[in-house]
Amino acid sequence: MNEIVQPSADLKALDRLVGEWTVTGGAEGVVRYEWMEGGFFLLQHVELTQYGQSITGLEVIGHLRPFGEPAGADVVSRFYDAAGNTLDYTYELSGDKLTIWGGPKGSPAYFEGTFSADDQVMSGEWIYPGGGGYESTMTRR
């Protein structure tokens, strides 16, 4: 008998991101989140400018589930940009706090942000090892 697989609660919690957001801070522009049919992947469409460079791309967020294997425990993503780069991230939402690690969970490069009470604003900061990073605010459009 085939097991019925459903999207995880950890992934479904990211529904708070769905919609179009204006991004300000160290990167400026617009991002849009939408569910792929089936609800197993959240797609982020990115149109930003950072340090004078245009960043256009697509991020696919969900659980890894290789052929014949169960889904991985972490919500992960891969970002593909117009310059040919691929960047991997790990997402964790705990209450109103969203953490996005650059690479695996616990990485020294990460974003930590907090949703406003009405889910209309996400304010936070990217932290980079050795200093650096930048503040970032997303406001629902």
Domains and CATH numbers, the chain: 9-140 (2.40.128.20)
Q: What is the mean pLDDT of the chain?
A: 96
12-59 per-position pLDDT tens digit: 999 999 999 999 999 999 999 999 999 999 999 999 999 999 999 999
- 122 and 9 Cβ atoms separated by less than 8 Å: no
The β-bridge relationship of strands 19-25 and 121-127 is unpaired
